[in-house]
Amino acid sequence: MKYIGAHVSIAGGVENAPLNAHALGADAFAMFTKNQRQWSAPPLTKESIAAFRANCEKFGFTAEHILPHDTYLINLGQPDPAKRRQSIDAFIAELERCRQLGLSKLNFHPGSHLRIVSEAEGLALIAASVREAVDTVPEVVAVFENTAGQGSNLGYSFEQISTMLELTDRPGRVGVCIDSCHAFAAGYDLSSAEGFEETFARFDALIGFELLEGMHINDSRGVLGGRLDRHDSIGKGTLGMEFFRRLMADPRFDDIPLILETPDETLWPKEIATLQALSRNENVDFLQ
């Protein structure tokens, strides 16, 4: 079964995230656990934690199908030791917030070498940062997200992600999230049937589907290999509707959160309903 949702707001408290997801017709969702534009946040209250858990139970959302995301301020590959320390501490705090909420994974962008150190050194710094974090906070899986490769961002190839997983060396505590827009921008041709199969055969060979904890399913405004991280609504970009048809028909992507981060939030209910219909093998283009 496919579990499809979107990255929903936590305005008014994290306990509102499952309410917002349910209102979209979703059976999965992503969220921040705090204001993602700030380094720190007030501790979660017992009342907020209890309400979040109760709302998840009420609407049938389980931890396996919720994919929280850390703040974009964090750079676990930051070459400056003091600044990297700030990022590691913030990442540890976010893992702990997930643990308190009963969530089992935390999605994150690996980091950037900022053109100060080599890519290899950057990958090693990220792995060491993640290893310290998961050693500090039990239970929550750190989920590496592939990047589009803009600027000096690392994690744009399956080889780089495989290297970071190997260097982290914490089996059972790390996983992967594939962003379809990022993969396409980085040069993986998900727009064609042949490219789709080649891409995921490569992923399976280097990383393995057993480590796939979720996906961000976004169309792309950029061209193949253009390194442009610009999401588009499903079927409206250069990936095209056939990618989403193939994805929804493929059992390898069952039982993980498939999360929309598409730019027009007003389309999310229709996008979710369309993808759910495709997962049931219904021949639809876009539900009105």
Asked, for residue 285, whether it belongs to a domain, the answer is no
Is residue 117 classed exposed, middle or buried when 0-12, 13-18 and 19+ CB atoms within 10 A define those classes? middle
Range of the domain at 188: 3-279
Residue at 286 is within a domain: no
Which pLDDT score is estimated for 166?
A: 98
Which DSSP helix (H) or strand (E) runs through 10? none
In a domain, 201, yes or no: yes
The pLDDT assigned to 261 comes to 98
pLDDT digits (tens, 9 = 90+) for 150-193: 999 999 999 999 999 999 999 999 999 999 999 999 999 999 99
Q: 53-66 b/e with 16+ CB inside 10 Å = b? A: bebbeeeebebbbb
- Give domain status of residue 207, yes or no: yes
Q: Which CATH number does the domain housing residue 203 bear?
A: 3.20.20.150
- Domain-embedded: residue 10: yes
Residue 130 · residue 142 · CB < 8 Å: yes
pTM for this one? 0.97
Nearest to residue 225, comparing CAs of 254, 178, 190? 190
Q: What pLDDT shows up at residue 37?
A: 86
Length of the chain (residues): 288
- Within-domain flag for 287: no
* Cα separation, 138 vs 168, whole angstroms: 15
φ and ψ of 51, to 5 deg: -70, -40
d(C-alpha 129, C-alpha 88), whole Å: 6
Q: What is the pLDDT of residue 44?
A: 97
Mean pLDDT of the chain: 97
d(CA 110, CA 130): 9
pLDDT in tens, 107-147: 999 999 999 999 999 999 999 999 999 999 999 999 999 99
Query: Band of the pLDDT at 286, cuts 50, 70, 90?
Result: low
Q: What is the percent of the chain with per-residue pLDDT over 90, rounded to a whole number?
A: 96
Question: Does the pLDDT of residue 288 top 60, yes or no?
Answer: no
Indicate which residues carry an active-site annotation: 37, 69, 72, 109, 145, 179, 182, 216, 229, 231, 261
Please say if the pLDDT value at position 210 is more than 80.
yes
Does some domain include residue 17?
yes
pLDDT of residue 287: 59
Radius of gyration of the chain (CA): 18
Domain total of the chain: 1
Amino acid letter, residue 16: N
Rounded CA gap, 183 and 149, in Å?
9
Tell me what the mean pLDDT of segment 4-28 comes to. Answer: 98
* pLDDT digits 0-9 by tens, 36-71: 889 989 999 999 999 999 999 999 999 999 999 999
> Would you say residue 24 lies in a domain?
yes
Report pLDDT for 285: 77
Question: Pairing state of beta strands 231-232 and 219-220?
Answer: antiparallel
Taking 90 as the threshold, does the pLDDT of residue 283 lie above it? no
- H/E/C letters for each residue in 62-98? CHHHEEEECCCCCCCCCCCHHHHHHHHHHHHHHHHHH
Tell me which residue has tokens 């976004």.
Answer: 218
pLDDT tens for 69-99 read 999 999 999 999 999 999 999 999 999 999 9
